[in-house]
Chains A and B, each alone.
Chain A
Amino acid sequence: DQQVKQNSPSLSVQEGRISILNCDYTNSMFDYFLWYKKYPAEGPTFLISISSIKDKNEDGRFTVFLNKSAKHLSLHIVPSQPGDSAVYFCAASAVRGTYKYIFGTGTRLKVLA
């Protein structure tokens, strides 16, 4: 049972436009969420996180929104740049206060120049 779902395996966006990546989860006990970016032949790198006590967190061009009632989070990248082309994973904390993270299957973002 996939507790964290990224239903769009791929997304293409023009440079300068907004990229919106979505993630849904089923476990209402998740209380901490993260987004990671992964380039080929490299490990994932951390982008941004959000705690369940917030509904928005911003860091530069990246903003994560959390809708607890819908069990949905999204990552907005504005403006999108060609260097943002990568696979993006969302992850959720399954056990409070520890590093047991459940990852989604990833969305491949392609930013077109």
Chain B
Amino acid sequence: KAGVTQTPRYLIKTRGQQVTLSCSPISGHRSVSWYQQTPGQGLQFLFEYFSETQRNKGNFPGRFSGRQFSNSRSEMNVSTLELGDSALYLCASSVSAPQGEQFFGPGTRLTVL
């Protein structure tokens, strides 16, 4: 079974631009979560989608948004990029059962100049 894939793996943008990151979950997984990882901050929860609906949201500004498609693939968008948005963005997928293990992708490394 293929794992969680994220594209692109690396991205360089400048302040003020916007960016879209993509995540393809493991086949059959309906829950997709997004996390931001920065040095010293661990993984910060952004949001979780389940069956195309945002089920949970973390404490991030409205510049961070996401969506999920009917095939469970998910995209995350960050508008008006700031230097502090430079981070590793991780996507994780899970089966539909409540709680349990999340399977993470390799992440997208975003650098904002």
Interface on A for B, CB 8 Å cutoff? 4, 6, 32, 34, 36, 41-46, 49, 89, 91, 93, 95-106
Contact = CB atoms under 8 A, between A and B. Distances in A.
A100 B55 CA distance: 9
B62 interface: no
B61 interface: no
Interface of B: 4, 31, 33, 35, 40-45, 48, 50, 55-56, 58, 90, 92, 94, 98-107
A105 B56 contact: no
A89 B37 CA distance: 12
A100 B56 contact: yes
Nearest to B93: A99
Given A43-B92, A49-B101, A101 B106 contact: no
Most B-side CB within 10 Å, residue of A95, A96, A100: A100
Nearest to A97: B98
